[in-house]
Structure 1
């Protein structure tokens, strides 16, 4: 636990208790704490223990190492499993998404320090938490359209409920955002400067056993500050104007019509992404807006993964980003106009083995 001097046990996930605080530390710093299936199970076990232990008032979740909280899931495993036709990829996603749902309804305060890179699966571990702390180094993103995938781990709930069109911008471009923008988009609650994190952790470790969620909120507020201004404040009107459309083509046309470096960059970034992923992502985000809860979005995402694992862009995107690292994916279909409604609709087919039930 990088913010506390305390003894923890475990390997890829360190767990323990100090005072009334249950501790979970992701411990794969070499790969920015990317999640393995075993890590997901270890987190579940820790949450089981902490939930039923009356001496635990709250849980603190952090990532070891200096680079970030969590860079995502085990993409290479998904690639290899999908190509081999093994069930490992689907089972990993099933367990991960069920954990994301559990975090959203966890009965005790669940505090996450989102230091450094917080992407993909890291957003799944943090975005649904009751207390989400951004720091000076927070770099948050859902970059899945760049690997032929879509924002998952419940991100279609978070993104679709972000103010205005901030979530649509984040989901389609995959651009990383800092602490102020993470708070503005509803992915974090407060900004705590790096200089205050150790003191905050020490105060959390000293909370009494009977403390409630509001007391944790008040404690964290004592260490919070105003985050350095991000990009959203200056570009909010443009984002809301350009990303309000229900087709990717209309969004790109609106960005083209703007006399703005921000709009030009957003358009250029989107044009590097998988055309299929862009259209599927937008459809999932619009469906998320009318969904009743996080679990509904997670179940829809899980259904969409079955089609993703049959789609060439997923393997081509991972090849270009992770395997060969040439950063030059050849998407198929290669253009937006070739991605018809039938291609998108296939991602909405019910999963033969539903996520919940």
Structure 2
């Protein structure tokens, strides 16, 4: 961690000097007020990308991300912010949680999220950043306790979309998963009218992926247009075509909102409820949020339930088999275990089978595994 800290300090200093050079002056990069004045007054960047308040121009992440393609300095500022955050919160911050035995002991809380997902606290090990290499490198600090062991990571593949296929009963989504197709490529073909998988470009797949996951969270044309950098008209066309090509999903969304209005709650596959007191609110924004929650909660909540079932079954199997393997972490859809090398081959089969057979859906559950000497290598 100390080595990482020193390396990040060099990166931060280099970025700082590059930002000063592009700005033509030195200023406090960490001051939103000074940054706003520099970008929108001194450098004259387009005002339509921000809004001015009593405290100055907004320099929030979404503002900077829209400016980055037209202003190289903004890309540097975004990189600076990300690495500075990694440095302060994780590289330095996590060191405060290291105990005398060299370990960090997080806690898991069951009732912090309404979806039912476990939450890691004191410290939170579920939100270690992965978008930048500097963030991913933090995982190198997490190693097995014993020299003859490795870390095994097993991660559900696209579990929320698989749950969506099962709940919505959409025949096209179910067929794609049953045939083992790349779901984002398959979606791109149906939404963009592409006949052959090999004709789907990386950009087509990226756009289809944004639509797939956006639908799960009830994304609007405005939200999708921001995510993809396209017009709202194009975004609306994507969403409309998606629902035409996957009618079962549209039917599910309409039906679950109707039921939520009648009952005041929604349920996961395992009948765990989420109350929705605002589902019939007269306020459009409040009601809209409740409707999106009604759509998403059965999907996210069921995925969380499935992972917990897999963890319980895996724990029972580890105890029954008197294995030395132990579960260490649960991060979103991933389980991390410490496995003696002598048990690795058997454990890879056991973990994969347990996760994939935790529940029977209309589509297969898939768990992807990797092992390594560090959490970084295992992921």
**Larger radius of gyration between Structure 1 and Structure 2:** 2
Indicate the TM-score class for this superposition, using the shorter chain for normalisation: under 0.3
TM-score normalised per structure 2: 0.25
Structure with the larger helix share: 2
TM-score normalised per structure 1: 0.26
